[in-house]
Chains A and B, each alone.
Chain A
């Protein structure tokens, strides 16, 4: 579906006709582009999801940046700095993609700062040791990739294209995190214990990244129909568990779940019950770091206000000078 067709259709027809064109495009796996007609709920649902995704990249810098100044080797320090830089870049792509739907970055950041829009619950957990940096790379980025690879085929073009680029970099981060944990696991007994402790603390929160169970997921059904989402929360969670079990074995680390075992009949791993009370509690703002994360984000924004104002004032002066010179020449 192209912008031209949609505009022509909009001029000629009613919302019903537009809706038929939109539905047909989605059904045919075509991409919806910014100037195409789309249902208001499709637009608002995408803005919500993309904004939350962008906010997660930005807040997600904090738990890892917490270790930049303490990274134990220069090589690891460089890798971690590059990763945190990539996350800021991902936030920028995603805000740009959200802007194609008519909502500015400033407005989205305001909503993040005022708590009206959320970010991934995972970033409300603290990074207590260096091994947490590896656990985040392996498990958190691993879960993110499982969630995000299907988004590369999402029906909204700008989001799908942003995800292609993001997924490439995320896969790289995940491998680096895995390799960090492997080094610790094979290192001194203290390093091995550090790695195991980090996996123990990050495993369940990572499983929660796939969202509530299918029967409690508010937006799932609609997102699936619109092909914003391609698989259910529980499907993706299962896929992640099945992959992680083998990786944990290769790492020489255990996963903190006594009920985890292979189910021959299902062809999948069964796993224990997730503590959904904890999930909803973190989502409501009562996790270990909710207050700290949002306070730091607000502070960076508020303390940077004078810098942004200076940049605006300077740009206006430059523009005025150019205009004046232009008029003088003319």
Chain B
């Protein structure tokens, strides 16, 4: 089965989508406007759909989501970061959806085993990227307060962006080109939003690539405790 060959890749991409979907689900009932209740839930649902397809290629989706411990998750540290204020959520969306859009665009164009999944997902992700871009512009070029918050959020999350361009076994991509296109795209949005592109290290909390090796940040364990609690309390039950 070819899926075994790239289980690492399916887990990495699937965990990214699963964890970010969970974070966005935390917004339900707390969004700044009703339209964003709909939009954030919509994006969370798209990501959860992607996660389910990807995890199912590796094994049972629920066993993988609910019975693995923190050290076995392969998601980027970026997507596990707490929601923070709306600006932090949007900055995280901008960085990640830009990456995901470029990545899935490339996978969809190829003939690898992720091509079909990527072809479907790239349309969803294009919408996510557009949503994040529009809000980056509104917040960056809105009021003084929103500008300050958006700039701070972009800086706070910047350190986690290098990890997206570390190699993932099973994903044969030109990472330098991916990174160059990501930087160009994000720079263009931040410029238009009157924001400054952050400077400084992009190595994550440990070293770049740590999340992909199961080394996560502290908030992640607490997130998993909440997510897995009920499932783990009833071993073997069907839901």
Contacts and interface: CB of A to CB of B under 8 A. Distances in A.
B231 A306 contact: no
Contacts of A279: none
A92 B31 CA distance: 14
A78 interface: yes
A88 B37 contact: yes
B61 interface: yes
B147 to A, nearest CB: 8
B226 A183 contact: no
Interface string A91-106: 1100100000000000
A311 B29 contact: no
Contacts of B146: 306-307, 309-310, 313
Interface string B52-79: 1001000001100110000000000000
A74 B25 contact: no
Contacts, number: 140
B41 A84 contact: yes
A217 interface: no
A307 B61 contact: no
B31 A311 contact: no
Contact of B31 (A68, A75, A304, A313): A304
B142 A296 contact: no
Given A300-B29, A306-B145, A311-B138, A191 B237 contact: yes
A129 to B, nearest CB: 9
B184 interface: no
A61 B35 CA distance: 14
Contacts of B26: 68-69
B226 A69 contact: yes
B33 interface: yes
How extensive is the interface on chain B, given as a class?
35 or more
Interface in A60-91: 61-62, 65, 68-78, 81-82, 84-85, 88-89, 91
Interface residues of A, number: 48
A188 interface: yes
Contacts of A84: 28-29, 37, 41
Interface in A186-223: 187-188, 190-191
A309 B143 CA distance: 7
A89 B36 CA distance: 10
B80 to A, nearest CB: 13
A307 B234 contact: no
Contact of A310 (B29, B42, B139, B230): B139
A141 B237 CA distance: 26
Given A70-B229, A85-B37, A85-B45, A77 B25 contact: yes
A303 interface: yes
A308 B31 CA distance: 11
A95 B37 CA distance: 15
Nearest to B56: A74
Contact of B29 (A130, A191, A296, A313): A296
A317 interface: yes
B66 A72 contact: yes
B32 A307 contact: yes
Contacts of A305: 32
A314 B35 contact: no
B180 interface: no
B58 to A, nearest CB: 13
Nearest to B28: A65
A169 to B, nearest CB: 13
Given A74-B52, A92-B38, A188-B234, A307 B33 contact: yes
A289 interface: no
Given A70-B230, A91-B34, A309-B142, A183 B29 contact: no
Q: Which 7 pairs show the lowest CB-CB distances between chains A and B?
A: A304-B32, A310-B142, A310-B146, A85-B41, A88-B37, A65-B28, A307-B32
Interface of B: 18, 22, 25-26, 28-38, 41-42, 44-45, 48-49, 51-52, 55, 61-62, 65-66, 85-86, 137-139, 141-143, 145-146, 149, 226-227, 229-231, 234, 236-239
30 contacts: A65-B28, A69-B226, A70-B229, A72-B66, A72-B230, A73-B231, A74-B48, A74-B51, A74-B61, A74-B62, A75-B52, A76-B239, A78-B48, A78-B52, A81-B45, A82-B41, A84-B41, A85-B37, A85-B38, A85-B41, A130-B239, A184-B239, A187-B237, A190-B237, A191-B234, A299-B30, A301-B32, A306-B143, A306-B146, A308-B32
Given A85-B38, A307-B139, A310-B146, 11 more contacts: A69-B227, A72-B230, A72-B234, A74-B61, A81-B45, A88-B38, A130-B239, A187-B238, A300-B29, A303-B30, A306-B143
